[in-house]
Chain A
């Protein structure tokens, strides 16, 4: 997180705000709700309170405008610049301006006013931009659900105003996972048309063979309708599909697009109803089978017939000696099966039925 130069902040904890005009994209009450909800986010973790004014000058004046809108800091039409705000201070200080040329919504269909307002109000309270892609104060827009503030945002705002003396029990999202953390474990891994996607918490890393550094991206910013956490994933190159599992649901991707008709229940694959989530999934292109791992057992799904093979579930420990009885993720690459468990990655030879090498999990991210 960062603050503005000279760490500008309000000298009082009792702040006022006023909504000067409204966007025609939403009902007035929806705008009021979005702003109030955004202010409450910050109030939940600091001792700040916000009182609404209907006339006169408030500390935080909120308005919608197009192009040049009175502050010599013009907007640019649809997309790109969505809004801006001024750090705490007299006059224009603390004011928040939204670009009226955007399409403001209360869901994920266009730019969600609540998310942008929460970010801008962060500036109005003294927060600068964060370099943490999971933080609300990261400068680029991404749609997300749940409690918007990350630990990074909370640390930043509490450095200015201190913590809320009456904690509300909300839990900030953890900071984004660090790529080269030696203790890194992962949730899922899959190929996608020659790239590799590594899922961890709310994020995924995208590894392109020609890019030395992986990109870290919020799952929600690519697929707003997907869950915040992926349990397992695999690619079936023959069908040009990636299947993503989260809880009892699964989604199919064609490229980056979700295939129509999904999500479906994982039980459609033939898994018993008692299974509520998968730990890992991997497609072996040489055999056409997909292995689905859950707790200490695994199942074999025949992609050609669309049925589970008989004789399953079988014990992971017995059939894959050396990797333990439970795994976090799996992927088939270069003729090897790679199993991930905690901070270790096991290179397993499918033909020799033995572990070839043990590497750190972060080695998949070029660490």
Chain B
């Protein structure tokens, strides 16, 4: 079944955020590798912002992703 609209929006926001600021590689959605990359990158972001490191897209993490910020990536090139 498709995800409810709200969840899809949050997921897209997170993907965009992690690509832009944490170098999440572009990959096929749903593949095992992509899911692993996503979890690893979200953990990296949670560590950076001193959030609870869960690897999942919880409310606290989404809240930080929605904050106004600088466009320079937090890690990498």
Q: Do A and B bind each other?
A: yes
- A positions within 8 Å CB-CB of B: 5, 73, 75, 79-85, 111, 116, 119-120, 123, 128-129, 131, 133, 139-141, 211-213, 215-216
Q: Given A80-B68, A140-B67, A216-B50, list of 16 further CB < 8 A pairs? A: A75-B71, A82-B69, A84-B70, A84-B71, A111-B68, A116-B70, A123-B72, A129-B70, A131-B48, A131-B49, A131-B50, A139-B74, A140-B70, A141-B68, A141-B70, A213-B52
Give bound CA distance, A56 to B5, whole Å.
50
- In the complex, which residues of chain A have a beta carbon less than 8 angstroms from the beta carbon of B26? none
Pairs of residues from A and B, 4 with the lowest C-beta to C-beta distance, nearest first: A84-B71, A141-B68, A81-B71, A140-B67
Closest Cβ neighbor of A81 among chain B residues: B71
Closest Cβ neighbor of B68 among chain A residues: A141
Let me know if B77 and A5 touch, CB within 8 A.
Answer: yes
Give bound CA distance, A216 to B51, whole Å.
10
Give bound CA distance, A111 to B70, whole Å.
12
- In the complex, which residues of chain B have a beta carbon less than 8 angstroms from the beta carbon of A85? 70, 72
Let me know if A139 and B52 touch, CB within 8 A.
Answer: no
- 15 of the cross-chain contacts (CB-CB < 8 Å) are A79-B68, A81-B70, A82-B71, A85-B72, A120-B70, A123-B72, A128-B72, A129-B48, A133-B50, A139-B70, A140-B70, A141-B67, A141-B68, A211-B52, A213-B51
Q: Known contacts A131-B50, A212-B52, A213-B52; decide if A141 and B69 are in contact (CB<8 Å).
A: yes
Q: How far is the CB of A126 from chain B (nearest CB, A)?
A: 12
- In the complex, which residues of chain A have a beta carbon less than 8 angstroms from the beta carbon of B60? 211, 215
- B positions within 8 Å CB-CB of A: 21, 48-52, 60, 64, 66-72, 74, 76-77
Closest Cβ neighbor of B51 among chain A residues: A213
Q: How far is the CB of B32 from chain A (nearest CB, A)?
A: 29
Let me know if A84 and B67 touch, CB within 8 A.
Answer: no
- In the complex, which residues of chain A have a beta carbon less than 8 angstroms from the beta carbon of B66? 80
Let me know if A139 and B69 touch, CB within 8 A.
Answer: yes
Give bound CA distance, A178 to B74, whole Å.
21
Q: How far is the CB of A4 from chain B (nearest CB, A)?
A: 8
Give bound CA distance, A81 to B67, whole Å.
9
Closest Cβ neighbor of B13 among chain A residues: A80
Q: How far is the CB of B17 from chain A (nearest CB, A)?
A: 9
Q: Known contacts A5-B76, A5-B77, A140-B64; decide if A83 and B71 are in contact (CB<8 Å).
A: yes
Q: How far is the CB of A132 from chain B (nearest CB, A)?
A: 9
Closest Cβ neighbor of B63 among chain A residues: A215
- CB contact between A129 and one of B50, B74, B77 (< 8 Å): that residue: B74
- In the complex, which residues of chain B have a beta carbon less than 8 angstroms from the beta carbon of A80? 66, 68-69
Q: How far is the CB of B21 from chain A (nearest CB, A)?
A: 8
Let me know if B52 and A140 touch, CB within 8 A.
Answer: no
- In the complex, which residues of chain B have a beta carbon less than 8 angstroms from the beta carbon of A212? 52
- In the complex, which residues of chain A have a beta carbon less than 8 angstroms from the beta carbon of B69? 80-82, 139-141
